[in-house]
Amino acid sequence: MNVPGDLRYSSDHEWVRATSDTTAVVGITDYAQDALGDVVFVDLPDVGSTVSVGDSIGEIESTKSVSDVYSPLTGTVTEVNGDLADTPEKVNSDPYGEGWMFTIEFSDGSGLDGLMDAAAYTELSEG
């Protein structure tokens, strides 16, 4: 299982890459995409949506099941990965790169403090 050390993680298996003091990129973890199986459809939030930590803001459909995507931060969605509409399999092949899902402008920098580091996430996902 790939758990990059430079990211933060939610207990719902989303990863967060801060790109500034107020913006971040979000996707699902390698663990999550592996558990889902082959991803065939991704429903993402609308740009401009205001979201709170823990809100269900999208869905991922795989050959096995449908799972919710949860917001790991409170803020406003500023961009979505439109490529996933035509190539949802990028979530499987490159979850931390081309499989990113959305960017968020978060309202409180301390929101990152509530997320796990790689070691804590590894412990959660292996436990």
Domain positions in the chain are 8-116
Residues 52, 107: Cα–Cα separation, whole Å: 10
Give 82's DSSP letter. G
pLDDT of residue 15: 98
Around 101, how many Cα atoms within 13 Å sit in the side-chain half-sphere? 29
* pLDDT (tens place) for every residue of the chain, 127 residues total: 899 999 999 999 999 999 998 999 999 999 999 999 999 999 999 999 999 999 999 999 999 899 999 999 999 999 999 999 999 999 999 999 999 999 999 977 778 888 999 999 999 988 7
pLDDT of residue 51: 95
Question: Radius of gyration of the chain from Cα atoms?
Answer: 13
On whether the 8-116 domain is CATH 2.40.50.100, my answer is yes
Residues 9, 55: Cα–Cα separation, whole Å: 15
Give 32's DSSP letter. H
Residues 119, 116: Cα–Cα separation, whole Å: 8
Around 126, how many Cα atoms within 13 Å sit in the side-chain half-sphere? 9
The answer, as to whether pTM is greater than 0.85, is yes
CA angle, residues 39, 43, 44, in degrees to nearest 5: 120
Q: Evaluate whether 17 touches 102 at the Cβ level (below 8 Å).
A: no
